[in-house]
């Protein structure tokens, strides 16, 4: 240990190898290993030790240690505007140049999204230049009238929303495909809700006009009913009739996209900080991790160190969508890159950082944070949390996604909710629909910081899982006024804690007895969990709760017991109830007050 190292402040990353730590504090690695051993940690020279361990060792060797705080931007999903857009706003205005618009295609299944994407790709000059062979990398570019357009070619709002949920929001413009022979369908509405929630302009491609039963006028009326009034009807939605199959109207569609793009500020600083979105990524046997990145600002180059979520690495090679090797990628250009150490998630933001060491440190820190978050399972969007955000002025509206059993119940709910307006905080209904709550509803909620409300419907298993993972709150009702009341309370920040019931055991009534002083008791067999003397009980007959109260007595044979487990027989007395019948189920439960989520 060097003398002058005494009490010197050093900064260490979240993880460091024994070798690097030794170098940083100028001692021999052996000394570090010995100190580690003295603290009960066996490590070799190449092993990674975490910051806490490294700090103990360094302190013992006379150093004061602080965690190195990485200067890279943290990816947060707070707020309306995607982080990359915020960063572009911070760029020097003079350095901003126009970049190609990024377009995503949404619409109902079978309305022709894939066919349209293929048709655009194959009629494009860019594709023809490359011999018409394009690689599927999740995005491609076409040229129209000397302008370039970037298409994300994973159609469907699941992909779109996944990106948004992770804060990326890759698309500048949404093309909503509606089949002229089928019209507006449930997923058309869903897609519309997604696009609106993302505040991305929408162009309608009225597809399949070659079909004999196509009825464009009827579909335009349906679109108008959804608030997409066609421009020919004095509205502001461009509706382009196309046939993806017959390749009709494609030029008009590209024209319309460029027109809309022209009115927007679609720009970036090619010399600025490099940031973008992961479009897709996978591990290949021969090439390792291959990720398609869409550059949104700056210029990505071979040799750059990229950090995407918890994956990182130096870019070894880069290819454009035609499979051609390239050295750099400018804004709005999708490239597939090799060199990441792990597969990042689609929709994740990526950025270029100054060194691999820094990338490793941030990745380690993020992993640590993820682990912590997984442990606490922090809820993301609860009505209560939203109220805090109202107060902090972060959110000016309560966003809801409403699913109901039938259209007839949706209407009164929507109109009552729209009438609610408490202290200028309004309700914004992002999406409504009939049927059970599905994964897409939860995705949309997660991406938009919304709460899902179900009326006479249930979430399906996948939606439930996703809601838990994403911390999305789903609230179920079967009485309209309760629903309205709760939303109003949420707006006022007055939601009271909810009683959460946990059934801890069930017993089946097999006989009834009269016992002096105790009255009628049930002779039971514990079928699940356990019964506890001091817990609450309810009596269930034919699936219905017929009595809810407290236990009066719990006996095993003649002995009073505090609890009794599954597989045992017992005698149960319930305060204020003695109408037991053989076949009743006695459920024992505990309650706790939890803030309504």
- Compute the distance between CA of residue 419 and CA of residue 396 in angstroms, rounded to an integer: 16
* Closest CB 159 distance from ligand GDP, rounded Å: 12
114 binds ligand GDP (CB under 6 A): yes
Site string for ligand GDP, 201-220 (x = CB under 6 A): ------xx-xx---------
Q: Three-state SS string across 559-589, please?
A: EECCEEECCCEEEEEECCECCCCCCCEEEEE
Q: Tokens representing 483?
A: 């629903």
528 binds ligand GDP (CB under 6 A): no
The SS3 of residue 513 is strand
104 binds ligand GDP (CB under 6 A): no
113 binds ligand GDP (CB under 6 A): yes
123 binds ligand GDP (CB under 6 A): no
Q: Is the dihedral of CA 6, 11, 15, 17 positive or negative?
A: negative
Q: Which residue is nearest to ligand GDP (CB)?
A: 112
- Compute the distance between CA of residue 279 and CA of residue 68 in angstroms, rounded to an integer: 30
* Closest CB 232 distance from ligand GDP, rounded Å: 20
Q: Residues with Cβ < 8 Å from 272, sequence gap 6 or more?
A: 87, 88, 91, 92, 95, 297, 298
Kindly state the number of chain residues that form the binding site for ligand GDP, as judged by CB under 6 A: 16
115 binds ligand GDP (CB under 6 A): yes
* Closest CB 25 distance from ligand GDP, rounded Å: 59
Helix (H) or strand (E) holding 123: helix 113-123
* Closest CB 207 distance from ligand GDP, rounded Å: 5
Site string for ligand GDP, 383-422 (x = CB under 6 A): ----------------------------------------
Facing residues of 283 across strands?
289
- Compute the distance between CA of residue 318 and CA of residue 332 in angstroms, rounded to an integer: 15
Q: For residues 156 and 523, which CB has a smaller minimum distance to ligand GDP in the complex?
A: 156
The one segment of 105-113, 297-305, 372-380, 425-433 that binds ligand GDP by CB under 6 A: 105-113
Q: How many residues does the chain have?
A: 597
334 binds ligand GDP (CB under 6 A): no
157 binds ligand GDP (CB under 6 A): no
- Compute the distance between CA of residue 413 and CA of residue 52 in angstroms, rounded to an integer: 53
8 binds ligand GDP (CB under 6 A): no
506 binds ligand GDP (CB under 6 A): no
244 binds ligand GDP (CB under 6 A): yes
* Closest CB 242 distance from ligand GDP, rounded Å: 7
Q: Residues with Cβ < 8 Å from 84, sequence gap 6 or more?
A: 168, 275, 276, 277, 296, 297, 349
Pick one of 38, 81, 97, 109: the residue that binds ligand GDP (CB under 6 A): 109
Question: Of 516, 512, 517, which is closest to residue 571 (Cα–Cα)?
Answer: 512
Q: Tokens representing 58?
A: 């360094």
Q: For residues 272 and 438, which CB has a smaller minimum distance to ligand GDP in the complex?
A: 438
* Residue 6: how many other CB atoms lie within 10 Å: 11
CB 398 within 8 A of CB 418: no
At residue 570, φ and ψ (nearest 5 deg) are: -155, 165
Q: For residues 109 and 125, which CB has a smaller minimum distance to ligand GDP in the complex?
A: 109
379 binds ligand GDP (CB under 6 A): no
With 0-12 / 13-18 / 19 or more C-beta atoms within 10 angstroms meaning exposed / middle / buried, residue 505 is: buried
Q: For residues 252 and 356, which CB has a smaller minimum distance to ligand GDP in the complex?
A: 252
- Compute the distance between CA of residue 125 and CA of residue 476 in angstroms, rounded to an integer: 52
The one segment of 112-120, 230-238, 337-345, 369-377 that binds ligand GDP by CB under 6 A: 112-120
The residue ranges that bind ligand GDP (CB under 6 A) are 107, 109-115, 155, 207-208, 210-211, 243-245
């Amino acid at each position: 240990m060097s003398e002058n190292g005494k009490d010197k402040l050093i900064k260490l990353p979240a993880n460091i190898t024994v070798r690097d730590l030794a170098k940083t504090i100028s001692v021999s690695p052996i000394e570090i290993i010995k100190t580690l051993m003295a603290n009960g940690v066996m490590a070799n020279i190449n092993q990674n030790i975490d910051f806490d361990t490294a700090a103990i060792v360094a302190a013992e060797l006379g150093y004061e240690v602080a965690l190195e705080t990485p200067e890279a931007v943290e990816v947060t999903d707070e707020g309306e505007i995607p982080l990359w857009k915020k960063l572009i706003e911070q760029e020097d205005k003079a350095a901003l140049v126009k970049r190609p618009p990024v377009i995503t295609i949404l619409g109902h299944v079978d309305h022709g999204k894939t066919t349209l994407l293929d048709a655009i790709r194959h009629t494009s000059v860019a594709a023809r230049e490359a011999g018409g062979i394009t690689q599927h990398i999740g995005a491609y570019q076409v040229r129209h009238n000397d302008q370039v357009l970037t298409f994300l070619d994973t159609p469907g709002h699941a992909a779109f929303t996944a990106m948004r949920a992770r804060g990326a929001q890759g698309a500048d413009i949404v093309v909503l495909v509606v089949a002229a022979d089928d019209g507006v369908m449930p997923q058309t509405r869903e897609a519309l809700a997604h696009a609106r929630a993302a505040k991305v302009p929408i162009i309608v491609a009225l597809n399949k006009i070659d079909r004999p039963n196509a009825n464009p006028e009827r579909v335009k009326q349906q679109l108008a009913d959804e608030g997409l009034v066609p421009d020919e009807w004095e509205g502001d939605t461009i509706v382009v009739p196309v046939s993806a199959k017959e390749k009709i109207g494609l030029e008009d569609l590209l024209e319309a996209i460029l027109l809309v793009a022209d009115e927007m500020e679609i720009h970036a600083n090619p010399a600025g900080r490099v940031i973008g979105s992961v479009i897709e990524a996978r591990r290949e046997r021969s090439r390792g991790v291959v990720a398609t990145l869409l550059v949104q600002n700056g210029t990505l180059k071979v040799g750059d160190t990229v950090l995407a979520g918890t994956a990182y690495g130096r870019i070894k090679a880069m290819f454009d969508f035609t499979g051609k090797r390239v050295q750099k990628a400018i804004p709005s250009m999708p490239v597939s890159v090799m060199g990441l150490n792990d597969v990042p998630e689609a929709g994740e933001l990526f950025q270029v950082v100054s060194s691999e060491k820094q990338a490793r440190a941030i990745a380690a820190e993020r992993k640590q944070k993820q682990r912590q978050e997984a442990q606490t399972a922090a809820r993301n969007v609860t009505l209560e949390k939203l109220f805090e955000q109202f107060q902090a002025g972060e959110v000016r509206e309560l966003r809801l996604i409403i699913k109901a059993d039938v259209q007839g119940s949706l209407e009164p709910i929507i109109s009552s909710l729209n009438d609610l307006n408490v202290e200028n905080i309004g309700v914004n209904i992002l999406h409504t629909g009939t049927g059970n709550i599905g994964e897409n509803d939860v995705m949309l909620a997660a991406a938009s910081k919304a709460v899902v409300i179900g009326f006479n419907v249930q979430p399906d298993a996948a939606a439930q899982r996703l809601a838990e993972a994403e911390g999305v709150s789903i609230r179920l009702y079967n009485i309209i006024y309760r629903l309205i009341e709760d939303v109003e309370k949420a707006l006022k920040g007055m939601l009271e804690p909810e009683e959460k019931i946990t059934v801890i055991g069930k017993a089946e009534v097999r006989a009834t007895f009269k016992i002096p002083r105790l009255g009628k008791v049930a002779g039971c067999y514990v079928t699940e969990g356990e019964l506890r003397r001091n817990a609450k009980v309810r009596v269930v007959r034919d699936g219905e709760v017929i009595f809810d109260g407290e236990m009066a007595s719990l006996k095993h044979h003649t002995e009073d017991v505090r609890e009794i487990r599954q597989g045992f027989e017992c005698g149960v007395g319930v305060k204020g109830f003695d109408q037991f019948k053989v076949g009743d189920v006695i459920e024992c439960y505990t309650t706790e007050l939890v803030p309504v989520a």
